[in-house]
A and B are shown apart, each in its own frame.
Chain A
Amino acid sequence: MTRLTQIPGLPPLVAAAGLLAAWELAARVFDISGLPPAHAALRELPVILTDKESLLNILDSIRRMVVGFAFALVFAIPVGLMMGRSRLTAAFFNPLLMIIYPVPKAALMPIIMLWLGVGDASKTLVIFLGVSLPVIYHAYQGARAVEEKMLWSAAAMGMDARARLTRIVFPAALPEIMVGVRTGLVLALITMVTSEMIARKQGVGDILFNALAMAQYETVYATIVIIGLLGFVIDVGFERLRAHLVAWAEPAHEIAAVGST
Chain B
Amino acid sequence: MISIERLSKAFDTARGTSHLALSDISLDVAGGEFVSILGPSGCGKSTLLYIVGGFVPPSSGAVRVQGAAVTGPGPDRGPVFQEFALFPWKTVLGNVMYGLLEQGAPKKIAEDRARALIEMVHLKGYENFYPKELSGGMKQRVAIARTLAYGPSILLMDEPFGALDAHTRTGMQHELLEIWERDRKTVLFVTHSVEEAVFLSDRVVVLTRSPGRIKEISRIDLPRPRRRAELLVDRRYQDYVVAIEKLMDDPAEVRA
Report which A residues bind B (CB closer than 8 A): 147, 149-150, 152-159, 168, 171-172, 174, 246-250
Q: Which residues on the A side are within 8 Å of B98 (C-beta)?
A: 154, 157
Bound form: Cα–Cα A110–B146 in Å: 56
Find out whether the CB atom of A152 lies under 8 angstroms from the CB atom of B73: yes
Find out whether the CB atom of B130 lies under 8 angstroms from the CB atom of A248: yes
Find out whether the CB atom of B102 lies under 8 angstroms from the CB atom of A158: yes
> Chain A: which residue is nearest B80 at the CB level?
A153
Find out whether the CB atom of A250 lies under 8 angstroms from the CB atom of B88: yes
Map CB proximity to A onto B55-97 as digits: 1 under 8 Å, 0 otherwise: 1000000000000000011110111010101111110000000
Q: Interface of chain A, helix or strand or loop or mixed?
A: helix
Beyond the given A150-B87, A156-B152, could you list 17 further A-B residue pairs with CB under 8 A, ordered by the A residue number? A147-B83, A149-B79, A149-B81, A152-B73, A152-B79, A152-B85, A154-B102, A155-B54, A155-B55, A155-B72, A156-B73, A156-B74, A157-B75, A158-B74, A248-B131, A248-B132, A249-B88
Q: Which of B53, B88, B150, B152 contacts A152 (CB 8 A)?
A: B53
Q: Can you list the 7 inter-chain pairs with the closest CB atoms, starting with the nearest? A: A149-B85, A157-B99, A155-B73, A157-B102, A248-B130, A149-B81, A171-B89
* With contact pairs A248-B130, A249-B132 given, residues A158 and B87 touching in the complex (Cβ less than 8 Å): no
Bound form: Cα–Cα A246–B85 in Å: 18
Find out whether the CB atom of B85 lies under 8 angstroms from the CB atom of A159: no
Residue of B72, B73, B130, B132 with most partner-chain A CB within 10 A? B73
Q: List 11 A-B contacts (CB under 8 A).
A: A147-B83, A150-B85, A150-B86, A152-B50, A153-B81, A153-B146, A153-B147, A156-B152, A158-B99, A171-B89, A250-B88
> Chain A: which residue is nearest B146 at the CB level?
A153
Bound form: Cα–Cα A154–B89 in Å: 14
Bound form: Cα–Cα A65–B146 in Å: 43
Q: Which of A157, A159, A172 contacts B89 (CB 8 A)?
A: A172
Bound form: Cα–Cα A158–B90 in Å: 18
> Chain B: which residue is nearest A171 at the CB level?
B89
Find out whether the CB atom of B89 lies under 8 angstroms from the CB atom of A248: yes
Find out whether the CB atom of A147 lies under 8 angstroms from the CB atom of B85: yes
Bound form: Cα–Cα A174–B87 in Å: 12
Smallest Cβ distance from A81 to chain B, in angstroms?
Answer: 15
Check if B103 is an interface residue, CB within 8 A of chain A.
yes
Q: Which residues on the A side are within 8 Å of B75 (C-beta)?
A: 156-158
Q: Which residues on the B side are within 8 Å of A168 (C-beta)?
A: 87
* With contact pairs A172-B89, A249-B132 given, residues A159 and B79 touching in the complex (Cβ less than 8 Å): no
Q: Which residues on the A side are within 8 Å of B147 (C-beta)?
A: 153, 156
Find out whether the CB atom of B103 lies under 8 angstroms from the CB atom of A157: yes
Q: Which residues on the B side are within 8 Å of A248 (C-beta)?
A: 88-90, 130-132
> Chain A: which residue is nearest B94 at the CB level?
A248
Bound form: Cα–Cα A172–B98 in Å: 15
Q: Which residues on the B side are within 8 Å of A152 (C-beta)?
A: 50, 53, 55, 73, 79, 81, 85
Find out whether the CB atom of B53 lies under 8 angstroms from the CB atom of A250: no
> Chain A: which residue is nearest B99 at the CB level?
A157
Smallest Cβ distance from A142 to chain B, in angstroms?
Answer: 13
Smallest Cβ distance from B140 to chain A, in angstroms?
Answer: 13
Bound form: Cα–Cα A168–B75 in Å: 17
Find out whether the CB atom of B132 lies under 8 angstroms from the CB atom of A153: no
Q: Which residues on the B side are within 8 Å of A246 (C-beta)?
A: 89
Q: Which residues on the B side are within 8 Å of A149 (C-beta)?
A: 79, 81, 83, 85
Bound form: Cα–Cα A246–B132 in Å: 12
Smallest Cβ distance from B115 to chain A, in angstroms?
Answer: 19
Bound form: Cα–Cα A172–B89 in Å: 7
* With contact pairs A156-B53, A159-B102 given, residues A172 and B88 touching in the complex (Cβ less than 8 Å): yes
> Chain B: which residue is nearest A152 at the CB level?
B55
> Chain A: which residue is nearest B84 at the CB level?
A149
Bound form: Cα–Cα A246–B88 in Å: 10
Smallest Cβ distance from A168 to chain B, in angstroms?
Answer: 7
Find out whether the CB atom of A174 lies under 8 angstroms from the CB atom of B74: no
Q: Which of A154, A156, A250 contacts B132 (CB 8 A)?
A: A250
Q: Which residues on the A side are within 8 Å of B78 (C-beta)?
A: 156
Q: Which residues on the B side are within 8 Å of A247 (C-beta)?
A: 130
Smallest Cβ distance from A73 to chain B, in angstroms?
Answer: 18
Find out whether the CB atom of A153 lies under 8 angstroms from the CB atom of B130: no
